[in-house]
Homo-oligomer: A and B are copies of this chain.
Amino acid sequence: MAESQNMQGIAIVGCGIVGSSVAKILSRDHSMLQARVTTSFSLVKIVDINFDRAKSLGLDETLFEKNLESVLKNPSIHCVVELVGGTTFAKEVIERSLNAGKHVVTANKALLAHHGNELLALARKNNVVLAFEASCAGGIPVIRALYDGLLANRIDALFGIVNGTCNYILTQMTLHGKTYETALSEAQKKGFAEADPTLDVSGGDSAHKLAILAALAFGQKINLDAVDVTGIDQLELCDVMYGMDLGYVMKLLAISIRQDGGITLAVKPSFISREHPLAWVSGPFNAVSIYGHATGHTMYYGRGAGGDPTASAVISDILSVVNGSARASFFGCTIWPDIADASRAMPVSEPVSRFYIRVMASDEPGVLAGIASILAKYGISISSVLQKEKDPDADMPEAVPVLITTYPARQNSVLEAIREVDELAVVQSKSVCINIIDEHPEWKHHKTQS
């Protein structure tokens, strides 16, 4: 039979939550999936040292294999699915697979963020594909949007909610007035946060994803070091609430904007206008907003994590490898980071944005004048001021919060001004500064459309 001669064999390496979901769907739904592509394919091996999860799912034990080497030597295996995670053994798996002439599908954002350029180049050198839809935003096909569906666009900006743990915590703070600590603890109980949540709440995981997304969006090399990262772990509930009073919702945003011939790259808690679709993305969901010079604003929404949603992206990549569309895009497009230009990331001091500033000051005459004159000195225009009344129940009952929003200003100017404000005798604690995203980048380019 001609088809069986061309059978594409698949091996999964790493059988954890995602790996076992991929194996389950490839096995259980094989006839449905096979009917969708003209080339025959089959799951041939699952490589791990622990098959407890695979066994609990009732997966066919003849698939189980502990020896990676035998998979690499097996000529009937054409595609290796790396779901080990981490940046050490996973890197070895991918490198050895590529060198053995196998296509590779991976969900490993940390590895790609650190070593994506070289791994993609290694794939290209071996004339095989490295596909990674599952590395960013789980089941949302946003990587494809960048290399295919939006390929006609110069991308002007990208904003992503790409970490479900942080978004779950922020949603609890925003909608239910919970403190960060309470919300984190509940997220852990519900399985939305790890026992050690550091990589998520520090913004590190979002930075990995931003580095990958921005590379494709702006056609440049992945450059994780250029991402300015602030997590949500220092956020105070009062700022979330004050922001809502001002019409803003707090989100941990991965931000990359074309500016002054370069690209800004940042992950930080940000206020976004209540009118922006990203403001509605709640709980563990993810979404990525992309502004193209022709499309204007498009947004992609869905589950950013979990076994089955991530498996959806992994298997869509497998099917693309099988039907040849992945090869056509990988070798027929030139936006891939290994062959793209160097990163044009701006220094982290340079981004221009609006800002929210909260100063905790003594309730006495001249406070506002003192703050305003410092901001003026740095050329920062004030958009709004709200001085709240003293709250006897607050942590600092003697201080009044002065909330200032600015017009667009250079980040470094704002930070320097705040340092000077904080030296005023009337200022009782370190001021808080949060950027505001409410100018839709497309407005600059699409004023005539709507």
Interface residues of A (CB under 8 A from B): 21, 25, 29, 32-33, 35-39, 133, 139-141, 144-145, 148-154, 219, 277, 280-281, 283-284, 292-303, 306, 308-309, 311-316, 318-320, 322-325, 327-329, 331-335, 446, 449-450
Residues of B within 8 A of A140 (CB): 295, 298
Docked complex Cα distance between A154 and B32 (Å): 8
Most B Cβ at <10 Å: residue of A21, A150, A319, A322? A150
Distance (Å) between the CB of A120 and the closest chain B CB?
15
* Interchain CB contact under 8 A, A303 and B297: yes
Query: How many copies of this chain does one complex carry?
Result: 2
Q: How far is the CB of A191 from chain B (nearest CB, A)?
A: 9
**A333–chain B nearest beta-carbon distance, Å:** 6
For A307, the closest partner residue in chain B by CB is B449
Query: Which residues of B have CB within 8 Å of A151?
Result: 33, 36-37, 315-316, 319-320
Cβ of B332 and Cβ of A324 under 8 Å apart? yes
B334 and A311 form a contact (CB under 8 A)? no
23 contacts between A and B (CB under 8 A): A25-B152, A33-B151, A144-B149, A148-B148, A148-B316, A150-B312, A151-B316, A152-B311, A152-B312, A153-B312, A277-B281, A283-B450, A294-B311, A294-B312, A295-B308, A295-B313, A296-B302, A298-B300, A299-B302, A300-B300, A301-B301, A323-B333, A327-B328
Within 8 Å CB of A281, what residues of B? 277
Known interface pairs A39-B332, A298-B139, A298-B301; A148-B450 also in contact (CB < 8 Å): no
Nearest first, the 7 A-B pairs at minimum CB distance are A141-B149, A323-B332, A152-B315, A298-B302, A139-B295, A294-B312, A325-B328
Known: A29-B154, A300-B300, A316-B151. A335 touches B139 (CB 8 A): no
**Whole-angstrom distance between the alpha carbons of A311 and B60 in the complex?**
48
Q: Knowing A32-B154, A301-B299 touch, does A148 contact B320 (C-beta < 8 A)? A: yes
CB-contact partner of A335 in B36, B296, B302, B450, under 8 A: B36
Closest Cβ of chain B to A61, distance in Å, is 23
A334 to B40 alpha-carbon distance, docked (Å): 12
Q: Which residues of B contact A316 (CB under 8 A)?
A: 148-152
Closest chain-B Cβ to A326's Cβ sits at a distance in Å of: 8
**Which one, B302, B333, B334, contacts A295 given CB within 8 A?**
B302
Report B-chain residues with C-beta under 8 Å of the C-beta of A154.
Answer: 29, 32
**With a CB–CB cut-off of 8 A, which chain B residues contact A309?**
294-296, 449
Q: Which among A154, A293, A312, A331 has the highest number of chain B CB atoms within 10 Å? A: A312
Q: How far is the CA of A332 from the CA of B292 in the complex (A)?
A: 29
Q: Which among B297, B314, B323 is the interface contact of A302 at CB below 8 angstroms?
A: B297
Give the residue name and chain of the B residue nearest to A146 (CB). Answer: B141
Tell me if A334 and B219 are in contact (CB < 8 A): no
B36 touches A334 (CB 8 A): yes
Chain B hits for A292, CB < 8 A: 139, 312
Q: Which residues from chain B contact A298 at a C-beta distance below 8 Å?
A: 139-141, 300-303
